[in-house]
Structure 1
Amino acid sequence: MENVFYIDRLAYFAFPLNLIAGIFLVGVIIFLYVYYRENRFVKWLGGMQGTLWIIGSLIFVLLGEGILAGRWFCTWPFVCLLLLLWVNLGLVVLRHIRACSLRNVLFLLNHLGLWLALGGALWGAPDRKSVKLIAYLRQPEYTAVDETGRLYPLPFTVTLEKFQVEYYDRMQRVPKKFRSELILQNKECRLYTAIEVNEPVDFGGYSIYQDNYDREKGLYSVLLLVRDPWLGIVYTGILMMIIGAVGLVVCGPLRKPNQ
């Protein structure tokens, strides 16, 4: 049963399969709109009733995840709901793309932005890579470890030059702040930088976060390296949503013709 419902090998759908699947589904959305937009099911899927049904189902999954503490986010039904929502948004965008008005342009920005952000997160998930690296003082490291424990070679070296930690109470050794000073180097450049918790640095296509450290002697720092090549699409979509939402607020509520 678990093998049927749970997605355990997301990497199988990595580039280029995710890109091919995404382009194929875009073609399906356009095909449905051009040839079957008057079909009852297509009208339902791209209409308010379909939107409410999909969002309601997603809320149910979120509640189940929170209450039952399961792995519902990693199931095929949840992914299918997200795909349905993506198709729903695509049909909504196509339905409003011909109308020429400022309010409609802002509406399109809002919904197209959400479509891009959701698509970038959904299709980019198989390409997202998260690994950890233990950096010892003044020892260049170029190999990290993924979530399965396998070695993962990096396209650059990481050298921990200095590590600092501040405590709230030195007797209890409760850390207030810890900071790693690093040298990051690849074939093109060499960067001396410092990272702290929630203050990552970007290098070589990776975002490098401070994750942990040697709590006994401070001889090494544990770094989290995240690679997400689809993140730019997500940020673009979010920016479009913000512009559209702010524009709709500035325009004010829709007025009837006789007002």
Structure 2
Amino acid sequence: MNIEDKSINKKRETWQYPWGYKESFLIVAELMLLGLIIEVLSRGKGFTGIEWPVNAIIGVSIILIIATIHFFYRRNPIVRWLSSVPAAVSAISFFAFLVLLLGFIPQGNPHLSPVVQTLGLYHIKNSWLFVISGLYLLICLGLVTFRRSRSLTKKNIGFILNHAGMWIVLAAGSLGSGDLIRVTAELVESGAPVNTAISRKMEMKELPFSMELIDFKIDEYAPKLGIVDVTTGQLVEYEGTRTFSAEESKSLLVGPWSVRIDTFYTDAFLDSLVFRPYVFDGSAPAVLATVHNNSNNQSVSGWISCGSFIVPQIHLQLDQQNILVMLKPEAKKFSSDIVFSHNQQSDTATIEVNKPFMIKGFNIYQLSYDEEMGKWSRVSVVEVVKDPWLSVVYFGIFLLLGGAAYIFWIGNEPKNAEK
């Protein structure tokens, strides 16, 4: 009796089958160490990525290897562990940990510690750690999906759709990163057509089409005013507010000051010490304001302007410590009218920040402009993006949503309905 009790209560030794959470996370620790060692040996260069058709061949090979392991070696203890819950939890935790590091460690920062750079933590998405964690997760997901698909019951359909969709999203997102093209091009009004763009690595990329900027337009919000402490150079905060809109006939209380906007011009030029309304390339907004100090009953009045590349910036001195300033107007909307040409055919399109134009599989996004010139900018910076694997990712997301819908709606039927 005592011998039986001892055998029952005897703890399972580490690495004794079946493996559980302890072994699973020990393996994750070993995989992390392996990834760091490879990263150090490659001097922090990371995984350079693969392009078509190599990535497609690798993707198909991974599927075939997982299928072969499942159909011929599924009774192997290691294979059974790879399709178990502890292995899945450890794989997801490994991958999620790296995703968290992405948010905490600035990526691509050349001024990080040499240790961080050598370990590849400044480019985690291209590090060997990320490659190994993704491969581990794909193997676990694939084996679990194959195992559940052997029993194709009504209950398992939602599970299979979810896991297959997640596998496709992860595989396509990882393998397709080498085919992703993301470059920027600078277009100038009345300039020559542009058919090249520059990558983040400052590499020139030739495009299968040309772009010619016809017109660049910006709509701006009304400029904002604020009080600056000259000793700190910072905007002073009153009741949680640092700035207020410059609108004519507007009066408001800002701390000890009562501010009244007497005149507001959206476009003006400086004539001696007075602003006159006039629209020209380089005109700037201007405000005539009267400020009353309620603590000493003194008032001051004068013109304020944020200035431009032609008009000087003007502020109003309130006292020895504080000045009233105008901030640069924020862009409400900016867009570009562009002529796209390809094979002696041309299309004219207007692109905005969230309204791209597609041509030859490329999406053209409005990115930025010459901020020094402001609304008078004649330069438009566009981003050219091509992701041929995006449709595969969308297919995986569709399977995920289909599996979720199945589980929540069809899968909630009473169990006896299947019988």
Name the structure 1 match of 2:90. 53
Residue 233 of structure 1 deviates from its aligned partner by: 0.3
SS of match in other structure, 1:149: coil
Alignment map for 1:20-99 (pairs within 5 Å): 20-69=57-106, 70-71=121-122, 72-99=124-151
Name the structure 1 match of 2:48. 9
Query: Any unmatched runs of 5+ in structure 2?
Result: 1-39, 107-120, 224-284, 286-327
In structure 2, C-alpha distance between the alignment counterparts of 1:100 and 1:45, rounded to whole Å: 20
Alignment map for 1:146-185 (pairs within 5 Å): 146-169=199-222, 171=285, 172-185=328-341
**Which has the larger share of helix?**
1
Given that 1:5 and 1:76 are in contact with CA atoms closer than 8 Å, whether structure 2 keeps it comes out as no
Instruction: Tell me the alpha carbon deviations over residues 40-79 of structure 1, each in whole angstroms, 9 at most, x when there is no partner.
Output: 1111112211110011112222333333444233310111
Residue 98 of structure 1 deviates from its aligned partner by: 3.2
1:224 paired with 2:263, answer: no
Q: Using the aligned pairs only, state the percent identity.
A: 30
Given that 2:48 and 2:126 are in contact with CA atoms closer than 8 Å, whether structure 1 keeps it comes out as no
**Amino acid aligned to 1:233:** V
Alignment map for 1:116-195 (pairs within 5 Å): 116-138=168-190, 139-169=192-222, 171=285, 172-187=328-343, 189-195=345-351
Given that 1:145 and 1:152 are in contact with CA atoms closer than 8 Å, whether structure 2 keeps it comes out as yes
Given that 1:29 and 1:87 are in contact with CA atoms closer than 8 Å, whether structure 2 keeps it comes out as yes
Higher mean C-alpha displacement, 121-130 vs 63-72: 63-72
Given that 1:6 and 1:76 are in contact with CA atoms closer than 8 Å, whether structure 2 keeps it comes out as no
**Amino acid aligned to 1:123:** L
Aligned residues: 257
Given that 2:95 and 2:137 are in contact with CA atoms closer than 8 Å, whether structure 1 keeps it comes out as no
Given that 1:5 and 1:77 are in contact with CA atoms closer than 8 Å, whether structure 2 keeps it comes out as no
Query: Any unmatched runs of 5+ in structure 1?
Result: none
In structure 2, C-alpha distance between the alignment counterparts of 1:122 and 1:29, rounded to whole Å: 17
In structure 1, C-alpha distance between the alignment counterparts of 2:41 and 2:329, rounded to whole Å: 43
Residue 188 of structure 1 deviates from its aligned partner by: 7.4
Q: 1:127 to 1:43 in 2, by over 3 A?
A: same
SS of match in other structure, 1:169: coil
Name the structure 2 match of 1:19. 56
Given that 1:107 and 1:244 are in contact with CA atoms closer than 8 Å, whether structure 2 keeps it comes out as yes
**Amino acid aligned to 1:9:** T
User: Which protein has greater RCO, CA pairs closer than 8 Å, 6+ apart?
Assistant: 1
In structure 2, C-alpha distance between the alignment counterparts of 1:241 and 1:189, rounded to whole Å: 40
Q: 1:34 to 1:228 in 2, by over 3 A?
A: same
Given that 2:185 and 2:384 are in contact with CA atoms closer than 8 Å, whether structure 1 keeps it comes out as yes
Higher mean C-alpha displacement, 143-152 vs 187-196: 187-196
Residue 252 of structure 1 deviates from its aligned partner by: 4.5
Q: 1:107 to 1:189 in 2, by over 3 A?
A: farther
